[in-house]
């Protein structure tokens, strides 16, 4: 019981350290980045298994934007945007003439010194997804690990 508690606590601390690392890196990126608007120009389709164990198709947009030097930059988003890509597909099928399917603009943050370092940012979660996942997981592991250690300590008394 003590070993398991220590293991869970150690894993929780490692995840917490990872969360801090990603938080610092993302904060540095956001402070030094420039905000602009991009457009979806293509997409990458992937099969991923959801939390329920069911495999489904997800769509990662390829986004184009103009940097401060006037050059066109392209990148694939780290975050899937199924709805936005669905609208893009419908718009492309209609030859971009159907007003019902207006391809949405995507907020983009990029490093002005290296415009290829870019991130799509529809929401807080799009930018901070790694920190959120690691933070929640670390809290769960720490609570379970510390509870197991406390239980083992009480049991030995």
Residue 43's φ and ψ, nearest 5 degrees, are: -155, 160
Rounded mean pLDDT, 94-105: 87
Report how far residue 113's alpha carbon sits from residue 135's, in angstroms, rounded to the nearest whole number.
30
Q: Which residue has the higher pLDDT, 96 or 39?
A: 39
Residues 48 and 56: beta-carbon distance below 8 Å: yes
pLDDT for 157: 67
Q: How many domains does the chain have?
A: 1
Residues 122 and 81: beta-carbon distance below 8 Å: yes
Domain span at 57: 2-156
pLDDT confidence band for 98 (50 / 70 / 90): confident
The count of other CB atoms within 10 Å of the CB of residue 114 is 9
Report how far residue 152's alpha carbon sits from residue 84's, in angstroms, rounded to the nearest whole number.
51
pLDDT confidence band for 79 (50 / 70 / 90): confident
Kindly state the helix (H) or strand (E) to which residue 129 belongs, with its residue range. Answer: helix 124-156
pLDDT for 39: 94
pLDDT tens string 38-59: 999 999 999 888 778 888 889 9
pLDDT tens string 132-152: 999 999 999 999 999 999 998
pLDDT for 154: 86
The count of other CB atoms within 10 Å of the CB of residue 28 is 10
Q: What secondary structure does DSSP assign to 40-97, as a single string?
A: EEEEEEEEEE-TTS-EEEEEEEEEEEE-TTS-EEEEE-SS--HHHHHHHHHHHHTTT-
Rounded mean pLDDT, 29-46: 93
């Amino acid at each position: 019981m003590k070993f398991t508690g220590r293991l869970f606590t150690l894993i929780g601390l490692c995840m917490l350290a990872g969360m801090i690392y990603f938080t610092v890196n993302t904060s540095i990126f956001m402070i030094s980045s420039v905000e602009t608007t991009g457009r979806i120009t293509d997409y990458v389709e992937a099969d991923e298994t959801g939390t329920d164990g069911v495999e489904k198709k997800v769509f990662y947009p390829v986004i184009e934007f103009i940097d401060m030097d006037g050059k066109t930059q392209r990148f694939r988003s780290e975050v899937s945007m199924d709805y936005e890509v669905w609208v893009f597909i419908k718009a492309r099928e209609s030859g971009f003439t159907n007003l019902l399917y207006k391809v949405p603009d995507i907020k983009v943050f990029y490093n002005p010194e290296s415009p290829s370092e870019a991130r799509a940012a529809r929401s807080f979660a799009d930018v901070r997804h790694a920190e959120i996942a690691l933070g929640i997981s670390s809290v769960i592991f720490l609570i379970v690990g510390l509870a197991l250690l406390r239980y083992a300590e009480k049991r030995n008394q």
